[in-house]
Structure 1
Amino acid sequence: MSDLPKHSVSVTGVVVRPDGRVLMIQRADDGRWVPPGGVLELDEAPEAGVVREVLEETGIEVKPERLVGVYKNMALGVVSLAFRCHPVAGGPRESDEAVAVEWLTIEEATAAAPEARAVRILDAFRSDGPFVRIHDGTTLLLEQTVPH
């Protein structure tokens, strides 16, 4: 059994307000600006996980709308399911994982985020997904524009 590959599954919430602004956090561990998210619990549905993670990191309760894509960090074996969400309650606040929480324009959000995270934001504004993409944690390794 120890020869089996080990993967971690996480969720990302691309939270979009009616005015088009995107919820972003500045991570406490590496200072990067990214959409909120984290590791899915073993007994948790993906949609419930994204609601929990966004609330824990930002103080904002969300409702998932649709799956944006599946993104695999090839270096770490982490598969992230990204969901476009909209806010339903709460207000932005910092947390142990987020030293800053801001509503940014799509241009500001994608400029601030590493390419592997920025593409999730861009994909959330497209209607021809969901997408499957691979990356090394920062940069896309294979650009796939065909939805799956």
Structure 2
Amino acid sequence: MSPAPLHSVSVAAAVIDDDGRILAIRRRDNSHWEPPGGVIELGETIHDGLRREVNEETGLVVEPDALTGVYKNMNRGIVALVFRCYLVGGSEHTSSETDRVAWLTPDEVRNRMSEAYAVRLLDALPTDEPRPAIRTHDGEHVKP
């Protein structure tokens, strides 16, 4: 019998402003641009984990609206749930995990983020396509 698979579950927020820009963070440890979010703690609800992670990384308070995508990193066993969220308060600031908080256009998202992270935010943009998107990736590139 094979051992039980080990997976972790993470959450990320796609917050879109009135100008169509999307909230993003640059990680302090590797300078990569990503959506704000992180791993859900044991005993924490999905939405509570999302709110906590966004607030810790950006200083902003968000409220989840809709699940827009489910993404699995096939190499690391991480399943990420991405929610379109709306801003309800807070004050923008960096943290021990982030050295930049920015509102990026969709083109800036494509140019600054690896495909595996950019697609999470681009999938959250309003569209007529069915939701949620379900994708796999290798940490950098989306797999067909």
TM-score, reference length from structure 1: 0.91
For 2:62 and 2:18, how far apart are their aligned partners in 1?
13
CA distance in structure 2 between the aligned counterparts of 1:109 and 1:60, rounded to whole angstroms: 19
Structure 1 position 34 matched with structure 2 position 34? yes
Q: CA RMSD in A?
A: 1.4
**How much does 1:106 deviate?**
1.8
- Tell me the equivalent position of 1:135: 137
Partner residue, 1:48: 48
Correspondence for 1:61: 61
Letter in 1 for 2:9: V
| Structure 1 segment 64-83 matched on structure 2, within 5 A | 64-83=64-83
Structure 1: which amino acid aligns with 2:75?
A
**Which portions of structure 1, spanning 4 or more consecutive aligned residues, are displaced by more than 3 angstroms?**
none
Contact 1:92 1:102 in 2 (8 A): no
The one-letter code matched in structure 2 to 1:132 is I
Equivalent residue for 2:120? Answer: 120
Q: CA deviation at 1:83?
A: 0.4
- CA–CA separation in structure 2 for the residues paired with 1:118 and 1:138: 10
CA shift at 1:29, angstroms? 1.6
Q: CA deviation at 1:2?
A: 8.3
| Amino acid aligned to 1:130 | P
CA deviation vs aligned residue, 1:77-117 (integer Å, no higher than 9, x gap): 00000001111101221101111111111221222111011
Q: Which amino acid aligns with 1:9?
A: V
Report the equivalent of 2:18. Answer: 18
Structure 1 residues not aligned, in runs of 5+: 143-148
Q: Is the contact made by 1:110 and 1:121 (CA closer than 8 Å) also made in structure 2? A: no
Tell me, in whole angstroms, the C-alpha distance in 1 between the residues paired with 2:60 and 2:106: 19
Q: Which residue of 1 aligns with 2:4?
A: 4
Q: Which moved more, 1:29-38 or 1:12-21?
A: 12-21
Q: Residues 35-70 of structure 1: CA distance to partner in whole angstroms, max 9, x if unpaired?
A: 101000111121111111000000000011100111
Q: How many residues align?
A: 142
SS at match of 1:140: coil
Q: Determine what percentage of the aligned residue pairs are the same residue.
A: 49
Structure 1 match to 2:108: 108
